[in-house]
Structure 1
Amino acid sequence: MNTGSPEDRRFEVLRAIVADYVNTQEPVGSKALVDRHNLGVSSATVRNDMAVLEEDGYITQPHTSAGRVPTDKGYRVFVDRLSEVKPLSTAERRAIQAFLDGAMDLDDVLRRSVRLLAQLTRQVAVVQYPTLTRSSVRHIEVVPITAARLMLVTITDTGRVEQRMVDLGDVISPDDVARVRSVLNSTLVGRRLADASARVAELPEAAPTELRDIMIRVCTALIESLVEFPEERLLLGGTANLTRNVADFPNSLRNVLEALEEQVVVLKLLQAAHDQSTITVRIGEENEAEEMRSTSVVSIGYGSSAGTVLGGMGVVGPTRMDYPGTMAAVRAVAAYVGDILAGR
């Protein structure tokens, strides 16, 4: 153990208590700490340190036990003093890459990420679809279904695909289909969706007379498509993991499970994930939603190599979690998802 200040020594004691409690789920006594950890001091000193840590609110004594458990405040100090997130092993990184590389499209990438995060951390994984406000139009395809019916396919730079049927009320020639396609793409490609919908509204006015009725119908459907994109879709995985350790949620597991079904609650958990380089850890009482105050949330933003954050992803679990391992898994999966969506 380090021979630094009493504060440093007490932090080592706190770190040992966190490690043991996460591993064993049992309150930790001073004798166990001295036996299991090379603390380099007497058990009397460890007892004194534990008394100070308890007085300062970093550990507490469950009334049924002689041992101590970390408090939210204790976990917070532990997390804040992690000098760096431990990297995953080469084998773990290869496994993540192999699993995600097989994905077919955006939905598949995000489904796989949720499954993977839940498996790696044995907690509940949450991934937010790329948000509408940050998406741009990559391509608009216009497909004739019949002589008087078109399908519009909007594809965004984040891989979302939205389809709309348009009944034209009149027959359209292949040449006119090509003209409509050309006008839509030349006007919209590269524009953010909100800006694109404003541009679409102007197109019928500028259309040649013979195409005006068709453009009105096409543009009406397209505006609906652009405006009504599922703005905040979420994927959850591994909810059953929470039920493995019911003792971590005294009287509150049901509330947590019900809260996880509320999209708004889960989105709030990911609100802090607006940065690809910073992992946010919210512990217990730090969570805004009352139902989630027996949990910790580890989250990060994922996105393109240019630094645009497309959405958030993270893990929800008990406050008694392996923070270093969870943080490493969340960071690694987010980085791979960002790379895949950037088209690398």
Structure 2
Amino acid sequence: MASADELDRREREILRALVQDYIHTGEPVASQPLLSRHELEWSPATVRSVMADLEALGFLEKPHASSGRIPTERGYRLFVDTMLKVRPPSVADRDRIERLAQAAPDVSSLIEGTADLLHSLSHHAGVVTTPRPQADPVRQLEFVRLRENRVLVVFVSEAGIVTNKLVQLEFAMEPAELERAAAYLNEKLHARADAAELAALRAAILTDMRADQSALHDLLQKALVLAEQSFAGTGVEKVVMEGESSFLDAPEFSDVQKARALLRGFAEKDRILRVLDRVLTAQEVQIFIGAESEFATVPDVSVVAAPYGRGDRVLGTLAVVGPTRMNYARVIPLVDLTARQISRALAALSEGG
């Protein structure tokens, strides 16, 4: 199969025009409409011949024998890599992104608001991962006494992410005991601030506490049990999503079985994390087209993603997930600007905290 570098100017121009039309209409493109919408310098017969050649080379395909042609994943990849002209976000879009970054009162609100904003601006699914535990360790915790020996554990990460966990104890702890236990654990957290990995941090703290408990009173033994239950199962990266159902408006997903398979893909959070974790080592926007994303068992899905962080530390990923015929020229700069603004907002929230 010929490489993209072997396409001549005529083939590239016709491919570019066809991809643009298909992104805009969602309908297979025939030669005559292509000529009517673009200032191509070739005859209808020549355009038809070139389209047939592009199909033979794997850049186009015909979904039905009597229809026009649509881009393949290979055609989209060539278009995005060599033909796409991105345009800066509009003033209105830029203002909305900046308002979110400036107005979010805390990190959790910022993450949730970002997913919603990406969906609203792109009309596709907005996806944001919470900061990775290994990059954003717990730095403070509090205990809130509830009824029937239950305790609400409140974790605050270095970036300011607040998470809660309900712990059921087999013994009662008074509010004063919980306060002293929290003070003791927070002292250990601060002393172990060099342990970036949550698992290492948890292990070090529990080891210290077991060493201490033989010399201290009953409160520490209770605190040790409380700490073990509090840390168990913590440190899980989460995914915040908005707008998954937007795919149902795309004609490519009018087939019920295909739509169901896609929605199952959104429900598999581990699969989404595997896709987005591939972006963590990147310094810029990454585009995964179709099967490249491994997002779902169905084709016609693309992911435009970028890392966000604080300073030199990458914390997580944000993305727009949509049909392969998404408007890349608009989505790519939106994702890029959002990632940069969210990173600035995280730095400001950290300094403010």
TM-score by shorter chain over 0.5: yes
1:243 to 239, 245, 248: 248
Letter in 2 for 1:263: K
Is residue 304–residue 319 contact of structure 2 (8 Å, CA) maintained in 1? yes
Counterpart CA distance in 1 for 2:324 and 2:234 is 35
The answer to which of 149-158 and 57-66 deviates more is 149-158
- Give the corresponding residue for 2:3: none
Show the counterpart of 1:294. 300
Shift of 1:88: 1.3
Q: 1:17 touches 1:69 (CA, 8 Å); kept in 2?
A: yes
Quote the Cα distance in structure 1 between the aligned partners of 2:161 and 2:245: 29
Q: CA deviation at 1:118?
A: 0.8
Structure 1 residue 186 displacement after superposition: 3.8
Change beyond 3 A, Cα 1:314–1:35 = same
Aligned-pair distance for 1:40? 3.2
Q: Is the 8 A contact 2:213 2:220 kept in 1?
A: no
Alignment of 1:261-280 (within 5 A): 261-275=267-281, 277-280=283-286
Structure 1 position 232 matched with structure 2 position 237: yes
Deviation of the 1:285 alpha carbon: 2.8
What is the aligned-residue RMSD (CA, Å)?
Answer: 3.3
**CA drift at 1:89:** 2.5
> Does residue 35 of the first structure (1) align with residue 58 of the second (2)?
no
Q: CA contact under 8 A between 1:272 and 1:280: conserved in structure 2?
A: no
CA apart distance, 1:309: 1.9
Hey, what does 2:221 align to over in structure 1? 216
Tell me if 1:183 matches 2:184. Answer: no
Deviations 1:35-89 (A, max 9, x none): 2112333333323321221110111123254421111111111112156643212
Would you say the 8 A contact 2:177–2:219 is kept in 1?
Answer: no
1:238-269 Cα deviation digits (max 9, x unpaired): 12211112444544111111221122222233
Question: Which consecutive unaligned segments of at least 5 residues does structure 1 have?
Answer: none
Is there any run of 5+ residues in structure 2 with no aligned partner, and where? 1-5
1:318 aligns with 2:323: yes
Q: Evaluate the alpha carbon distance shift between residue 171 and residue 288 of structure 1 in structure 2; reply closer, same or farther with a 3 A threshold.
A: closer
Percent of aligned pairs sharing the same letter: 30
Q: Do 1:143 and 1:150's aligned partners in 2 also have CA atoms closer than 8 Å?
A: yes
For residues 152 and 305 of structure 2, the distance between their equivalents in structure 1, rounded to whole angstroms, comes to 38
Where does residue 129 of structure 1 map in the other structure? Answer: 130
Kindly indicate whether the alpha-carbon contact (under 8 Å) linking 1:252 and 1:291 is maintained by their aligned counterparts in 2. Answer: no
Is 1:342 equivalent to 2:347 in the alignment?
yes
C-alpha distance in structure 2 between counterparts of 1:275 and 1:104, whole Å: 28
Q: Matched residues in 1 for 2:135 and 2:275: separation?
A: 19
Determine the structure 2 residue equivalent to 1:12. Answer: 13
The Cα of 1:231 is off from its aligned counterpart by 0.4
Contact 1:144-1:150 at 8 Å conserved across structures: yes
Which residue matches 2:72?
A: 71
How many residues align structurally?
339
Contact map agreement 1:57 1:73 (CA 8 A) in 2: yes
Residue aligned with 2:58, SS:
coil
Q: What letter is aligned with 1:282?
A: F
TM-superposed deviation, 1:18: 0.8
CA offsets per residue over residues 288-332 of structure 1, 9 Å max, x none? 3552323122222221221x2212221222222112212222222
Give the Cα–Cα distance (whole angstroms) in 2 for the partners of residues 240 and 314 of structure 1. 16
Are the structure 2 counterparts of residues 230 and 187 from structure 1 closer, same or farther at C-alpha, using a change threshold of 3 Å?
A: closer
The change in CA–CA distance for 1:219 and 1:40 in structure 2 (over 3 A counts) is farther
TM-score by length of 1: 0.84
3-state SS, counterpart of residue 16 of structure 2: helix
In structure 1, distance between residues paired with 2:136 and 2:184: 23
The reply to whether residue 256 of structure 1 matches residue 262 of structure 2 is yes
Instruction: Work out the CA distance in 2 between the residues paired with 1:174 and 1:273.
Output: 41
Cα separation, 2, equivalents of 1:163 and 1:23: 45
After superposition, the Cα gap between the structure-2 partners of 1:289 and 1:126, relative to the gap in structure 1 and judged at 3 Å, is closer
- SS of alignment partner, residue 279 of structure 2: coil
Deviation string 1:3-58 (CA, Å, 9 cap, x unpaired) is: xx962331221111111111112211222222211233333332332122111011
TM-score (norm. length: structure 2): 0.82
Q: Deviations over 1:187-228 (max 9, x none)?
A: 234532223212212333554877443233324433443442
